Every structure is written in C-alpha cells, then in structure tokens.
Amino acid sequence: MTTLPAFDMRDLTDAIANLADGLETFAQAAEKALQAGKQRSGPAIQTHVQRAVDELASLYERLSGERFSHNPKLLTKYDGRPHSPAGRFIAAFFKIVTPT
C-alpha cells in the first residue's frame, strides 16, 4: 500500500496566494495594454459613415460583379489613398456628397 505525504494546509494557502498575485499582475498588464491601445487608435468612424460604406460596397459588388476590396497601401507603403477600383468608388462618392 502506498503512503501519501502528509497534507499541509499552508502549502495550499501559499499556492492560492501565489496564484492570486499572478492573476493580479496579469490583470494590471491587460488593463495597461487596453489603455495603450485606446490611446493609439484612430478616430472612431461615425455610424452613418460606416453604414454608407457598407451599402456602397454591396452596391459596387452587385453592379460590377466584382468582390469589394480596398487597400490603402501602394505595395508595402501606407499612403491612405484607395488603390482598388472599389476603394476609388467609395472615395468618389464621399467627394461628391461631402460639402467642402
């Protein structure tokens, strides 16, 4: 018959305390990462603009028969301008309807 080592409640208490400390450190790091991400993000897109883009993308696909795609990069360099026909379609629409 195998004899189990004596159970020491202090070992369990220490293990739980260590786990709680680790979780607290993890929660603090996650909160810092969340706050840093919020500070680096761009401006929030207005809901009506996003809805218009979604509808225009659907319209583009229906009328052109092509899948909507947009890439604001020229090769690997970000320049923010649309380079696909679909992206230029969206940009042209907003240029027409946005007062200057």
H or E, element range at 5: none
Residue type for position 93: F
CA dihedral 91→94→95→97, nearest 10 degrees, is 160
Name the least confident of 26-35, 37-46, 52-61: 37-46
pLDDT confidence of residue 28: 87
Give the residue extent of every domain in the chain. Answer: 47-97
pLDDT tens string 44-88: 767 888 899 899 999 999 999 988 887 666 677 777 778 788 888
**Cα(7)–Cα(3) distance, integer angstroms:** 12
Tokens of 92: 């042209």
For the chain, the average pLDDT equals: 82
- CA-to-CA separations, 24 to 15, 16, 21, 29, in angstroms, rounded: 14, 12, 5, 9
Q: Is the pTM of this model over 0.75?
A: no
